[in-house]
Structure 1
């Protein structure tokens, strides 16, 4: 079998298993096995029996809907690469937009203080620290397993990482924070069956589900952000695409926020809400 035929057969196998991006995933896994960049795959003329065996093993796991990033051991996020695996939520491309918004807000402040609640793998905190080197970045994660991944990803960045509940975190920063970000759990418990197997069966449920309407964590965030932010400080939070009205309405109803706005992702779906604490 030629390498081209091998790649085509692998993509067909993943497509039949319901994988959303079969060609890309098949190529990512083959490049991983061969230790090459994706751009060099067309130059490969053959693989060894050992390489094909390793490739087949990874394809079987991906066909069983194990996340691609778990198999690769890494996930790209903006300009950084994160270590990921069992026990931590795999960062999604959609969240890069929220991180970019946070970077822009932090750059508007001379000495910005940024807090990332529900940090998970540390993706947003790492991105802000990378792109706004003068920012003082703090992050918190409740789940001990996810916290260990965040420790690994934030090592050497200067980020103040803590283990704890966002509802009680950072009392020492009350009234002094410029920007708060959060990618909270936001899936309603009733939507269990609609969640992709990669997330439902492999991401921590603590990072996915948030009460009957999916907004329980966002309610906690709204109250905590109001305590931590300085007047005029900003909060941004990701939400489900079905919450494009309910998430902003939660901040509006609190009566202490201005410039409440919802933002769409690259596919045009409602994806994150931002608000400014009124003076």
Structure 2
């Protein structure tokens, strides 16, 4: 609205009449429950600002921990797959923080794909390693089948809220339903993601998957039951809630 970086807001003398009218309109929209990120058109995520709006899930600070854990595993030349990429927050953070990584971002929603492509183009123009955007359903065994057995790290922030669970109004009214809810137990996407990741990963590769705080024991149990993962751990977010699980793929295992 003012056309200045956030760090210069304190130096602004005041609003013009037109700016004040626009500000009042934005406040009214926020009071009605519209997310701040939709009002300003961007969401901060780690070191990036990403374009967001209707049709794409707004990335949350909790997911920054998952992305950061993954970044510690990734080196230049590594092959990385972001499943359920949405705005591209995770994939683009990897490309930004690990130059030379070979990053794929998979998304099925046409609306989310438009935001993902927009953000991918903007980050490539800014000098980050370009990512490969893939339109597809992460539960489909054919998606990226050409990479099976070669991927170093799979990262995923899937829909995981149990259907019918209470969520804040800005989530219920503005985030895409299919990006939030995943069946009666919230595991409708995580189950096939585990199987797909196990096929994609090379021996020794890692899966990092976000989940609902009610899944602290359930997701690690699913990883153990698959039979192709070891070093399974669950991790908490900064509020002390169970937030994501990690696991390492092993060779010569039968699911």
Q: Quick check: 2:139–2:189 contact (8 Å CA) kept in 1?
A: no
- Structure 1 residue 111, shift from structure 2 partner: 2.6
Alignment of 1:58-137 (within 5 A): 58-107=26-75, 111-137=77-103
> Which structure 2 residue ranges, 5 or more long, are not aligned?
none
Q: Which has the larger radius of gyration?
A: 1
More helix by share: 1
After superposition, the CA RMSD in angstroms is 1.3
Counterpart-to-counterpart distance in 1, 2:9 and 2:188: 46
Residue of structure 1 in register with 2:149 after alignment: 175
TM score, norm. by length of structure 1: 0.84
- The 10-residue stretch of structure 1 (244-253 or 84-93) with the greater mean CA deviation from structure 2: 244-253
The 5 A counterparts of 1:130-149 are 130-149=96-115
Partner of 1:152: 118
Partners of 1:130 and 1:63 lie apart in 2 by 35
Cα deviation for residue 36 of structure 1 reads 3.4
Residue in 2 aligned with 1:186? Answer: 160
- Higher RCO (C-alpha under 8 Å, 6+ residues apart): 2
What TM-score results when the alignment is normalised by the length of structure 2? 0.91
Moved more, 164-173 or 152-161: 152-161
Unaligned runs of 5+ in 1: 1-32
| 1:236-247 map, 5 Å | 236-247=208-219
* d(CA) in 2 for partners of 1:212, 1:68: 29
Moved more, 33-42 or 234-243: 33-42
Counterparts of 1:251 and 1:41, CA distance in 2: 47
